[in-house]
Homo-oligomer: A and B are copies of this chain.
Amino acid sequence: MKARNGTEPTTGTTDSGNPARVDSSTIYSRIFDAIVDHKLPPGTHLKEDELCDLFGVGRTRVRSALSRLAADHVIELVANRGAFVASPSVEEAREVFRARRVIEGHLIRRAAERRNPPMQQALTEHLHGEHTAREAGDTAQVIRRCSRYHQLLADQADSPIMAGFIRELIARSSLIVAIYEKSKPDKCEIDEHRLLSDLVLAGRADEAAALMDRHLQGIEDRLDLKRESGTINALSQSLGFN
């Protein structure tokens, strides 16, 4: 199973102090991150038994984690058939980006109004890491840094409920990009994280919100959302029918 790549269990201590077992939150986070980082492609079957073997735990913890992942819409639970990494439709894709523009637009304004030295440090460090990963050609780390930048920014708005919504929307965006991306980000888009941070840290809320809107629109415009269904078309492309 592909899930073996990059999701090896560790034997760190769990919250409950048991050194041999990972708890369901860890399982959840591992799978969530693997999905957001494009390590588990849309449609991947997540079999309970394999996850149990992989994490060295019983089914209860695995099922609890899978249930939470389903609540976040990053996997789909199909009765009697199992858990699959979600494959968002074109309609979902459009709404996810619209929802992000609405909510992230609001949150970035609040962040700009609340700028402070710890925020500056957090954003600056993150961008430095992003830049370093790009220079190093570390694709996996670039993907990680880019997707987490938006979450970091949302977390600066003192709005944990909406930051939670954004968390879900970012994960779904990641799946959407995996399915529908037809071109890589250009230089302008790559620079936009820095520009966004500059505007936020300068307290220019209106401009930050407007740039966020354009930034998200730009990501959406890179997607081929005219296709009826991503996974079916990916299959027919693989088989040479296009």
Q: Contact residues of A with B, CB < 8 Å?
A: 64, 67-68, 71, 73, 92, 95-96, 98-99, 102-103, 106, 159-162, 165, 169, 172
Task: Return chain B residues, CB-CB under 8 Å to A64.
Answer: 67
Q: How far is the CB of A168 from chain B (nearest CB, A)?
A: 9
- A172 to B64, alpha carbons, bound, how many Å? 23
- A106 to B98, alpha carbons, bound, how many Å? 10
Partner of A161, one of B68, B71, B92: B92
Task: Return chain B residues, CB-CB under 8 Å to A71.
Answer: 68, 71
Give me 25 A-to-B residue pairs in the complex whose CB atoms sit less than 8 angstroms apart, sorted by A's number: A64-B67, A67-B67, A67-B68, A68-B71, A71-B71, A73-B161, A92-B161, A95-B159, A95-B160, A95-B161, A95-B162, A96-B161, A98-B159, A99-B159, A99-B161, A99-B162, A99-B165, A102-B102, A102-B103, A102-B106, A102-B162, A103-B103, A161-B169, A161-B172, A165-B165
Task: Return chain B residues, CB-CB under 8 Å to A98.
Answer: 159
Task: Return chain B residues, CB-CB under 8 Å to A103.
Answer: 102-103
Task: Return chain B residues, CB-CB under 8 Å to A159.
Answer: 95, 98-99
Task: Return chain B residues, CB-CB under 8 Å to A68.
Answer: 67, 71
- A96 to B160, alpha carbons, bound, how many Å? 10
Task: Return chain B residues, CB-CB under 8 Å to A106.
Answer: 102
Q: How far is the CB of A196 from chain B (nearest CB, A)?
A: 19
Task: Return chain B residues, CB-CB under 8 Å to A99.
Answer: 159, 161-162, 165
Residue of B nearest to A64 (CB): B67
- A98 to B109, alpha carbons, bound, how many Å? 13
Residue of B nearest to A159 (CB): B95
**A-B interface, 6 closest residue pairs, ranked by CB to CB distance from nearest:** A71-B71, A102-B106, A95-B161, A99-B162, A67-B67, A165-B165
Residue of B nearest to A92 (CB): B161
Task: Return chain B residues, CB-CB under 8 Å to A92.
Answer: 161
Residue of B nearest to A73 (CB): B161
- A12 to B103, alpha carbons, bound, how many Å? 40
Task: Return chain B residues, CB-CB under 8 Å to A95.
Answer: 159-162
Task: Return chain B residues, CB-CB under 8 Å to A165.
Answer: 99, 165
- A99 to B159, alpha carbons, bound, how many Å? 9
Task: Return chain B residues, CB-CB under 8 Å to A96.
Answer: 161
- A201 to B162, alpha carbons, bound, how many Å? 29
